[in-house]
Amino acid sequence: MKNTFGNSFCVTLFGESHGQAIGAVLDGLKPGEEIDLQKISALLKMRKGAAAFSTKRNEKDEFKIVSGFFEGKTTGTPLCILIENNDTKSADYSEMKSVARPSHADYTAFLKYHGYNDYRGGGHFSGRITAALTAAGAIALQILERRGVKIGTHILSCDDVSDRHFENCEKDFEKLFSLSFPVLDDAARERIEEKITAARKDGDSVGGVLETVVTGFPASVGEPWFDTVEGVLSHILFSVPAVKGVSFGAGFDFGKMTGSEANDPFIIRDGKVITQTNRNGGINGGITNSMPIVINCAVKPTPSIYKTQKTIDFEKNEQTELLIKGRHDPAIIHKASVVVTAAAAIALLDLLSGRFGTDLNGI
Amino acid sequence: MKNTFGNSFCVTLFGESHGQAIGAVLDGLKPGEEIDLQKISALLKMRKGAAAFSTKRNEKDEFKIVSGFFEGKTTGTPLCILIENNDTKSADYSEMKSVARPSHADYTAFLKYHGYNDYRGGGHFSGRITAALTAAGAIALQILERRGVKIGTHILSCDDVSDRHFENCEKDFEKLFSLSFPVLDDAARERIEEKITAARKDGDSVGGVLETVVTGFPASVGEPWFDTVEGVLSHILFSVPAVKGVSFGAGFDFGKMTGSEANDPFIIRDGKVITQTNRNGGINGGITNSMPIVINCAVKPTPSIYKTQKTIDFEKNEQTELLIKGRHDPAIIHKASVVVTAAAAIALLDLLSGRFGTDLNGI
Amino acid sequence: MKNTFGNSFCVTLFGESHGQAIGAVLDGLKPGEEIDLQKISALLKMRKGAAAFSTKRNEKDEFKIVSGFFEGKTTGTPLCILIENNDTKSADYSEMKSVARPSHADYTAFLKYHGYNDYRGGGHFSGRITAALTAAGAIALQILERRGVKIGTHILSCDDVSDRHFENCEKDFEKLFSLSFPVLDDAARERIEEKITAARKDGDSVGGVLETVVTGFPASVGEPWFDTVEGVLSHILFSVPAVKGVSFGAGFDFGKMTGSEANDPFIIRDGKVITQTNRNGGINGGITNSMPIVINCAVKPTPSIYKTQKTIDFEKNEQTELLIKGRHDPAIIHKASVVVTAAAAIALLDLLSGRFGTDLNGI
Amino acid sequence: MKNTFGNSFCVTLFGESHGQAIGAVLDGLKPGEEIDLQKISALLKMRKGAAAFSTKRNEKDEFKIVSGFFEGKTTGTPLCILIENNDTKSADYSEMKSVARPSHADYTAFLKYHGYNDYRGGGHFSGRITAALTAAGAIALQILERRGVKIGTHILSCDDVSDRHFENCEKDFEKLFSLSFPVLDDAARERIEEKITAARKDGDSVGGVLETVVTGFPASVGEPWFDTVEGVLSHILFSVPAVKGVSFGAGFDFGKMTGSEANDPFIIRDGKVITQTNRNGGINGGITNSMPIVINCAVKPTPSIYKTQKTIDFEKNEQTELLIKGRHDPAIIHKASVVVTAAAAIALLDLLSGRFGTDLNGI
């Protein structure tokens, strides 16, 4: 289905970095849901990230909803969000049109689209498109939140610096919204910021690992095969640019565990079934068990660095060197953290809508 | 789409551990493809795994193809593979019907299906269903191989023991088929087998990490958003029981890298564009670049252990203890390695069929 | 999606006329639904049709459910129905393998499958496959009936003979089950049977028009664009072999009406909103309005006739003549009436499941 | 999938009659296809219809393509077309917000969206949305035409007046583009225009039947079950407002034919296999046979009439009467003819893309 995600609640993305506009169409929204436009703006602002580590591209990210929204509420018909591109300096890109930036999509896009893609600023592959994805996610988030589902993402590690895990999710999620940089522990935040500053000075970039937690998500959602909660979430999370790994619960640490360490005993607390530990990250057999869903995403370093790199000119089919000019970031993991939250919200709302119907009956 | 995977080449799974039969329907197969039934049998045999570490369930895994296959070749119409269940001792399971095995799907299945699911032996959640998935993958593999695409999976690590990476893929893939246990390095294999034997003696189990490599896969396949190659592959790989993490290329190691370490320079070798390193695992911007696709899967330890575990009886809604009887394995990672290969083959054939059409024109 | 129909409740068909078995996989069934196997048998028997007008192929149509069905109820996991082929005389077909039967799919199948399709008895195109579709529909029907939704189909016309319309749907639907030939009016039935008998004597065949009515279907189901109730129903109805036209309500008669004749005034009767007339066949703007859904299907005459026909040998690429031997029917409209009911049930259950969720909450 | 149509080439619609904008996202377009914007404008102009029979709403239908289009060609990434709404007089509609216009979607929309839909001018159900569908179809048409596929639609009948069938398709299709009203025969056109004028004077409206022919479409496209060419085409055609019947080839006339009259003999002419007659409308067994695809659509009379109608106020739940004010048309069949062509083009391009891959290799 290419640029459309979802079976019951669907999001279609469109747009290029230097085109007229980017946007998203959201279909299958429950009618009558209030949407707070300020919350969309707030998430878009978070996505743009702390000034210190973000590019100079000065987009206001002003969005307009052109359909599916009436008198402050969703109508239930497709909701289209548009974000116009204003600050597009095409001149920056034209000369290196056919020089592949390593670890970017320039070369694969050339092959796939036979050279007809809009190459300016990465075109449809640009991180800019995540503004539309984020706006879509911001709407899904509000609908989830109204049903007690909350999502938060922080930088769990960057290089050798680790943040603490979520402790009090409610408070920690709120804290993340107030922070200019999504690290829970103050000391860790400072050290990660130093890492990024150092990378920037060196003309280099850094990666990291994100931790996302979803609380309040109903049990019994997901399928045993194929449309497992893990499968559906990972499907969309790998669309967040630079994400190259997705795991749930203990994830890759399971590789060093024994069954007796890894299993989560079921217990009854306050009349409710929970698990004593949550190494399975809220999912058993592809289906939610009411415990928090715990996701880790590996984020690779920004491919754009200020260093001369060996590469090819794919039109001339010859070896060349490249020193990328223009705006780029020493880290995108803080931006990715917002997009991961948004993307997760989209997938989770789709799963809920499939399970409980368009009207989300009973939740 | 629940138990159906794929857009252009689709696989539908059905069956329960103790039902009459399990099976798969494959739709969208190119007509006229020879299918070597011996190769299906061989992969099914690999899946059953080395006798020492596998359960006593004695299934012959004899399959029959009841449609879509005529005079030794695919017809292009849906191919249904059936595998009958013979060795089903239901008595083993009835008494603990409502006692949730920790980290299994018993409790979530009860919630999802309101208690109507076939609980015997895990029912539709049973690892047994992977026999059908493996048979389907064995067919996809043959069609891919005929076009130069090969896939191999080995145990990269188990606890603190690591196997070597693939060196000569062609030879290593062949070697894997001859091994009773999928570890490339002889010393590492011995040590991992010791780990499993020790776990078995202790009534416990172990997990591990798999490495899968795909060679010869054409460039230009995949989508920038949503149907990225990573997204499509991970979607199906999380259906392999016990897989809780999926990463590509350097995966979670990206978190400690800088951009200059992580980027793969493009070079021209023998007139062909390749990358000097392959930290992106053959995928840039969601699209294949002709380099080997490198996948890691984290596999959790077998949840079934011979130790008393705290859990609940979900029908009585009360706390209880469980000592699992019956057959179970101290490790399933060696079985998972085969299912991962099969599942990857299915997703890759779907991606190819979408890109090049049902007839796989031009490849 | 080829041989799979549906988004929320999905049916996948497989099998060939002379292969080992045909069957269907039903996915997305609400768990815990009792299925009366006798009702499946009864519908399969109806599909085989009155002895006088049906082929000599002597299939018992004994089905078995090999998965997704436990202790008399659906489990909620994929339900696979298998029907083995017993009475397959391949010899009948081999000699005319490459001679295209006019108005059959022999030639288009040859082009599509490049000659690799199982040509015996029409292979995957055979009306035999409708036994699997009927069995799937018989299950959907029971789930619908439990919620007050009933479906009946009769022959509205054959040549110049017309049956009466449904009057008392409940009674008329029951009557149809008791009839050997689905015509409501006794005189009309006799005359249509005479038409068919005459055609058979002449080595020819007849077509007709079916009328299907669905009662008790909830309002508010369907989408304004694309997945209109009309669009979804017609999509599956054109899979019923020989159906070449599908219309709703007044259908093609609208072409001679004025708006004041065609519009259905809304009225309130017994506190319930209904329409005074039902020319729109229960659907406004693609969405059900609680009135009976009225469908007409045009069925072409059986293409197999006992007359010499001009045609081609598509392997030799030369003109030839054909006198079809073997078994075939002077009419299939009575069989088609059963398959139309079954197919409609599948589409309607899919629409309900999308609207109200897998558990059909609230209906 | 609600407001998205297609598997390989997908169109997503959005917008409401009186919202900010309507539009469509086209995904899966072959990259590098030149798009003539004049041709889009021309089709949009045709859709607006002859001044005499169309509403006073004065929309310029100026569209802009905001993504997926670069240097005059498709990029292969999602192409979004936007058409802003200018001439929106909401005041016309507010007072009769909850009075259901008979045969319109007001009441079913109220039920489906629980009263949250944008009711102004029919909202998302408005015929206005067909401008976006037409623009999308105009793009698909150009891509088809470049491969020799042409589509034309005329009014075959209105009340008791019949147009002639297509004779020389190439010429007739061109003629249709030059006509202000799509009837091929001059006398018939005059008489149909008289019918419409008379209806307008009477405050009433008329319906009719459309005939669409597709020439040059490749053989071997379509599926035997479910995704038959008939099923896929009808699925989208029932989205054209007022279409209540779709048939192929002889359609409902098959009901009075014998097999010997209905069968199309295969013959070889100029070395090419064709059928002597084309009663099956170019489709055998759901698959194209290279003959022209012949489609009939039944179009109901415009539901908006200038006569007092009995209806309900669905918020007050009481009986009332309605005299519709504002702009409406005595006929929409001439507009529908354009939308049918556009919708058919979308479905046919989707079928081609699935069969031959995104790049339409080999055609």
DSSP per-residue string spanning B268-280: EETTEEEESS-TT
Cα angle, residue B4 at apex, residues D230 and C6 outer, rounded to 5°: 35
Q: What is the mean pLDDT of residues C177-198?
A: 95
Contact B245, B355 (CB under 8 A): no
How do C272-275 and C79-84 pair as beta strands? unpaired
* Cβ distance of C76 and B1 shorter than 8 Å: no
Residue A50 dihedral angles phi and psi, to the nearest 5°: -60, 135
| Measured distance CA(A276)–CA(D204) in Å, rounded | 71
Question: Which chain C residues have a beta carbon less than 8 Å from that of D259?
Answer: 103, 199, 204-206, 301-305
Contact A54, A48 (CB under 8 A): yes
Going residue by residue through chain D, which has 363 residues, state the pLDDT in tens, using 9 for 90 and above.
689 999 999 999 999 999 999 999 999 999 999 999 999 999 999 998 755 566 656 677 899 999 999 999 999 999 999 999 987 666 666 777 999 999 999 999 999 999 999 999 999 999 999 999 999 999 999 999 999 999 999 999 999 999 999 999 999 999 998 898 999 999 999 999 999 999 999 999 999 999 999 999 999 999 999 999 999 999 999 999 999 999 999 999 999 999 999 999 999 999 999 999 999 999 999 999 999 999 999 999 999 999 999 999 999 999 999 998 766 789 999 999 999 999 999 999 999 999 999 899 888
- What residue in B sits closest to C21 (Cα-Cα)? B66
β-bridge partners, B23: B14, B82
Cα angle, residue C243 at apex, residues C2 and D275 outer, rounded to 5°: 90
Please tell me the predicted confidence (pLDDT) of residue D329.
87
- The torsion region of residue D125 among left (phi > 0), alpha (psi -120 to 50) and beta comes to alpha
Nearest to B75 among C7, C25, C117 (CB): C117
Please tell me the predicted confidence (pLDDT) of residue A155.
98
Contact A61, A83 (CB under 8 A): yes
Q: What is the mean pLDDT of residues C65-83?
A: 98
C105/chain B closest Cα distance in angstroms: 14
Give the residue carrying structure tokens 């659906």: C74
* Cβ distance of B224 and D354 shorter than 8 Å: no
Q: How confident is the model at residue C181 (pLDDT cuts 50, 70, 90)?
A: very high
Please tell me the predicted confidence (pLDDT) of residue B362.
82
Q: Flag whether pLDDT at C135 surpasses 80.
A: yes
D287's tokens: 């698959």
Nearest to B27 among C3, C112, C117 (CB): C3
Neighbour count for residue C89 (Cβ, 10 Å): 12
Question: Which chain C residues have a beta carbon less than 8 Å from that of A357?
Answer: 354-357, 361
Q: Out of A40-44, A142-146, C23-27, D89-93, which region has the weakest mean confidence (pLDDT)?
A: D89-93
Which is nearest to D246 in space by CA: C226, C342, C244, C256? C244
B111/chain D closest Cα distance in angstroms: 27
Question: Which chain C residues have a beta carbon less than 8 Å from that of B62?
Answer: none
* Cβ distance of C19 and B66 shorter than 8 Å: yes
Contact C137, C212 (CB under 8 A): no
Q: Flag whether pLDDT at C327 surpasses 90.
A: no
| Measured distance CA(C88)–CA(B205) in Å, rounded | 51
Please tell me the predicted confidence (pLDDT) of residue B324.
84
The single-letter code of the amino acid at B70 is F
The H or E element that residue A138 is part of is helix A130-145
Which is nearest to B110 in space by CA: B326, B312, B304? B312
Neighbour count for residue D179 (Cβ, 10 Å): 15
The single-letter code of the amino acid at A229 is V
The single-letter code of the amino acid at B101 is R
Cα angle, residue C181 at apex, residues C180 and C186 outer, rounded to 5°: 105
Q: How confident is the model at residue B69 (pLDDT cuts 50, 70, 90)?
A: very high
Nearest to A244 among B4, B205, B249 (CB): B249
Please tell me the predicted confidence (pLDDT) of residue B190.
97
The pLDDT > 70 percentage for chain B reads 95
* Cβ distance of A361 and C358 shorter than 8 Å: no
- What residue in D sits closest to C204 (Cα-Cα)? D259
Nearest to B267 among A199, A260, A319 (CB): A319
For residue D70, how many C-alpha atoms fall within 13 Å in the half-sphere facing its CB? 24
Contact C310, D276 (CB under 8 A): yes
* Cβ distance of A361 and C362 shorter than 8 Å: yes
Please tell me the predicted confidence (pLDDT) of residue D328.
73
Nearest to A73 among D13, D64, D116 (CB): D116
B139/chain C closest Cα distance in angstroms: 17
Q: Flag whether pLDDT at B123 surpasses 90.
A: yes
Give the chains touching D; criterion: ≥3 Cβ pairs < 8 Å.
A, B, C
- Average pLDDT value over all residues in chain C: 94
Which is nearest to D249 in space by CA: D269, D230, D225? D230
Whole-Å CA distances, C311 to C110, D277, D289 = 15, 12, 14
* Cβ distance of C355 and A357 shorter than 8 Å: yes
- The C-alpha R_g of chain B, in whole angstroms, comes to 21
Contacts of B87 (CB under 8 A, 6+ apart): B57, B58, B59
C360/chain A closest Cα distance in angstroms: 8
* Cβ distance of B27 and C2 shorter than 8 Å: yes
The H or E element that residue C136 is part of is helix C130-145
The H or E element that residue C22 is part of is strand C21-27
Q: Please, is B112 exposed, middle or buried when counting C-beta atoms within 10 Å of its C-beta (0-12, 13-18, 19+)? A: buried
| Measured distance CA(B206)–CA(B196) in Å, rounded | 7
Q: Flag whether pLDDT at C18 surpasses 90.
A: yes
Contacts of B317 (CB under 8 A, 6+ apart): A268, A273
Nearest to C358 among A355, A358, A359 (CB): A355
For residue A145, the SS3 value is helix
Neighbour count for residue D52 (Cβ, 10 Å): 12
Calculate the CA B151 to chain-centre distance: 12
Give the model confidence (pLDDT) of A170-188 as tens digits: 999 999 988 989 999 999 9
* Cβ distance of C224 and A77 shorter than 8 Å: yes
Nearest to A66 among D21, D25, D116 (CB): D21
Asked whether the ipTM of the predicted complex exceeds the cut of 0.95, the reply is yes
- Average pLDDT value over all residues in chain A: 94
Q: What is the mean pLDDT of residues A303-307?
A: 94
Please tell me the predicted confidence (pLDDT) of residue D289.
98
β-bridge partners, C22: C83
Please tell me the predicted confidence (pLDDT) of residue A177.
87
Please tell me the predicted confidence (pLDDT) of residue C52.
57
| Measured distance CA(D118)–CA(D125) in Å, rounded | 10
Q: Flag whether pLDDT at B52 surpasses 80.
A: no
Contact C304, C104 (CB under 8 A): yes
DSSP per-residue string spanning C144-183: HHTTT-EEEEEEEEETTEEPPPPSSHHHHHHHHHH-SS--
Whole-Å CA distances, A128 to A14, A199, C80, C222, D65 = 11, 22, 46, 35, 18
* CA terminus-to-terminus distance, chain A: 29
How do A21-27 and A79-84 pair as beta strands? antiparallel
Contact C276, C265 (CB under 8 A): yes
Please tell me the predicted confidence (pLDDT) of residue D342.
98
Chains A, C: CB contacts under 8 A, how many?
A: 30
Cβ density class B338-354: b for 16+ within 10 Å, e for less: bbbbbbbbbbbbbbbbb
- Average pLDDT value over all residues in chain B: 94
| Measured distance CA(D227)–CA(D47) in Å, rounded | 29
Chains A, D: CB contacts under 8 A, how many?
A: 177
How do D309-313 and D266-269 pair as beta strands? unpaired
Q: Flag whether pLDDT at A229 surpasses 70.
A: yes
- The C-alpha R_g of chain C, in whole angstroms, comes to 21
* Cβ distance of B354 and D356 shorter than 8 Å: no
The single-letter code of the amino acid at A52 is A
| Measured distance CA(B141)–CA(B34) in Å, rounded | 12
Which is nearest to C334 in space by CA: C195, C226, C236? C195
A262's tokens: 């890894």
* Cβ distance of B310 and A267 shorter than 8 Å: yes
Q: Flag whether pLDDT at C53 surpasses 90.
A: no
Q: Please, is A73 exposed, middle or buried when counting C-beta atoms within 10 Å of its C-beta (0-12, 13-18, 19+)? A: middle
C107's tokens: 């030639």
* Cβ distance of B356 and D355 shorter than 8 Å: no
Q: DSSP assignment, residue D49?
A: -
- The C-alpha R_g of chain D, in whole angstroms, comes to 21
Question: Which chain C residues have a beta carbon less than 8 Å from that of D128?
Answer: none
The pLDDT > 90 percentage for chain C reads 88
Please tell me the predicted confidence (pLDDT) of residue A275.
98
Please tell me the predicted confidence (pLDDT) of residue D90.
60
Please tell me the predicted confidence (pLDDT) of residue D294.
98
Nearest to B301 among A225, A254, A289 (CB): A254
β-bridge partners, C311: C320
Neighbour count for residue A307 (Cβ, 10 Å): 15
For residue C251, the SS3 value is helix
Give the model confidence (pLDDT) of A67-125 as tens digits: 999 999 999 999 999 999 987 666 666 777 999 999 999 999 999 999 999 999 999 99
- What residue in C sits closest to A351 (Cα-Cα)? C357
